[in-house]
Amino acid sequence: MAAELKHKKRHACVIVLGDIGRSPRMQYHAQSLLEDNYNVDIIGYLETRPLEALSACKIHELSAVPVTNLTPQLKLLFKAFWQTLSLLMALISIRRPNFLLVQNPPGIPTLIVCYLYCALTRTKLAIDWHNYTYTVLAMGTAGGEQSRLIRLVKRLERYFGSKAHTHFCVTRAMQEDLQRNWNIGPVTVLYDRAPTQFHPIDLPQKHELFMKLSKDYPQFMPQCYADLKQSGVLEATALTQKLANGSVLYKPQRQAILVSSTSWTPDEDFGLLLQALQSYEKTALAEPQLYPALLCVITGKGPQKEQYEAEMGKMQWHKVNIVTPWLENEDYPSILASADLGVCLHWSTSGLDLPMKVVDMFGSGLPVCAYNFKCLDELVKHGENGFVFGDHHELAEQLRIWFENFPNNPSIQETQTRFGRSLQQFQELRWRESWRLNAAPILEAFL
């Protein structure tokens, strides 16, 4: 029977009421389903190019919500109405799947539409809880969680969420909350794990990436090309040089790379990082022999990006340089593996989800400084695999300690070795293996 199921084509539909290309976890779900011999439909928005592996899926692009001049609450209602129609039309157009696998948030109108579709077509419904819709919407709503609109959203999310046949979530804390306070179950914890494209890389690979980035971002170019005139140097970047014999070396007294990935949304206080960098600038200027220049690579797209780029443009820094590229899927893992330290500014609106960007950093072998919140210790353990901070003062102190006498501080090298052992253990379980263990058996029960 198991062999029969393995070779029989199954049909699954993955639903993301957001940009598919910026929904890595749902893309990994779809890729795993493909590898398990499913025909996969994906419904969502196509603002960013999805993973190449999903070319075998049939992607149904939703129509963008038209821009209106309505009040904020009427905009939400109009958006929900538009998305309801778009999602219904997409669902009607696909071959009936064995199950829908739906991302939440956003849960309105996703959960309502998907429940009605499943009830009418006798299709199984699985929800992957990344967070709670009502807590996300409460951030930008007057009155927060106590407003009438948000209380209504919470009731709808709770009622229709409970109608699913099975549930996945991202933390044990969320599993406990769903089961105890929402009376929702069964709930399976499916932790985010880095897929195989996130892994450590060697120095020649880092050099190739820096050469590629230097074509578009002058921060990666050497300050002058005098080093190319030196005997034996073929090509150089701001951080590396390639010799005539093919070997690649770091430049002496090179700058350090600090990387952060952000969605430029209110649940990530980017101003906190700017304050910490301002402190580092003062420290590095006062003791230039102890502290290197920092090249901060901030990746991602989002609504507040232009606002912060304007703010960064006003900074008259000499020891800190910031570049904000949008990297292609194949370059993002490489920049993480090429950095010296990662920073995560994510805090959870519910206190119950974990930042996938830290998972990506750990998969790439990159230690991280992460903003502390309720369940972060399910991923980041202070002093074991990274650092945890609560404000910009703590982050600034962590940057100061980590980069003192960079890159030859014996104390930090010892810490790096300890962190490296923890990160190697983390890398032993990848997304694919975790999905096979925790998700595949549950979804196969729907066949």
Lowest mean pLDDT among 94-108, 242-256, 273-287: 242-256
The tens digit of pLDDT for each residue in 106-158 reads 999 999 999 999 999 999 999 999 999 999 988 877 787 888 889 999 999 99
Q: For residues 416, 421, 426 and 427, what is the CA-based torsion angle, rounded to 10 degrees?
A: 90
**At residue 429, does pLDDT exceed 60?**
yes
Q: Please give the Cα distance from 256 to 284 (Å, whole number).
A: 12
**At residue 170, does pLDDT exceed 50?**
yes
Sheet of 248-250, strand order? 233-236, 240-243, 248-250
CA-based torsion, 406, 408, 410, 414: positive or negative: positive
Predicted pLDDT at 224: 67
Residue 192: partners with Cβ closer than 8 Å, 6 or more residues away: 25, 170, 354, 356, 359, 431
- The pLDDT confidence band at residue 81, using thresholds 50, 70 and 90, is very high
Q: Please give the Cα distance from 405 to 292 (Å, whole number).
A: 8
Residue 331: name the closest of 293, 364, 307 by CA: 364
Question: What's the token pair of residue 26?
Answer: 């749902």
Three-state SS sequence of 372-385: CCCCHHHCCCECCC
Predicted pLDDT at 145: 85
Answer whether 392's CB lies under 8 Å from 412's CB.
no
CA 251 distance to own-chain centroid: 31
Predicted pLDDT at 132: 96
Bridge partners of 188, per DSSP, are 168
Predicted pLDDT at 147: 87
Residue 63: name the closest of 50, 44, 78, 81 by CA: 44
Residue 191: partners with Cβ closer than 8 Å, 6 or more residues away: 170, 171, 354, 378, 434
Cis upstream peptide for 105 (omega within 30°)? yes
- The pLDDT confidence band at residue 226, using thresholds 50, 70 and 90, is low
Answer whether 120's CB lies under 8 Å from 100's CB.
no
Predicted pLDDT at 194: 94
Distances (CA, A) of 22 to 49, 274, 343: 9, 24, 19
Answer whether 145's CB lies under 8 Å from 186's CB.
no
Predicted pLDDT at 67: 87
pLDDT above 70 covers a percentage of the chain that reads: 96
Predicted pLDDT at 8: 65
Q: Please give the Cα distance from 71 to 79 (Å, whole number).
A: 12
Neighbours of 208 (CB within 10 A): 17
Give me the mean pLDDT over the 288-294 stretch: 94
Residue 325: name the closest of 220, 198, 203 by CA: 220
Kind plus residue range of the DSSP H or E element containing 13: strand 10-19
Predicted pLDDT at 321: 93
Predicted pLDDT at 253: 86
Give me the mean pLDDT over the 5-34 stretch: 89
Residue ranges and CATH numbers for the domains of the chain are: 11-193+431-445 (3.40.50.2000), 203-428 (3.40.50.2000)
Length of the chain: 447
414: buried, middle or exposed (CB in 10 Å: 19+, 13-18, 0-12)? exposed
Beta strands in 162-303 (DSSP E): 166-169, 187-189, 233-236, 240-243, 248-250, 256-261, 294-299
Beta strands in 315-396 (DSSP E): 320-323, 341-344, 368-371, 386-389
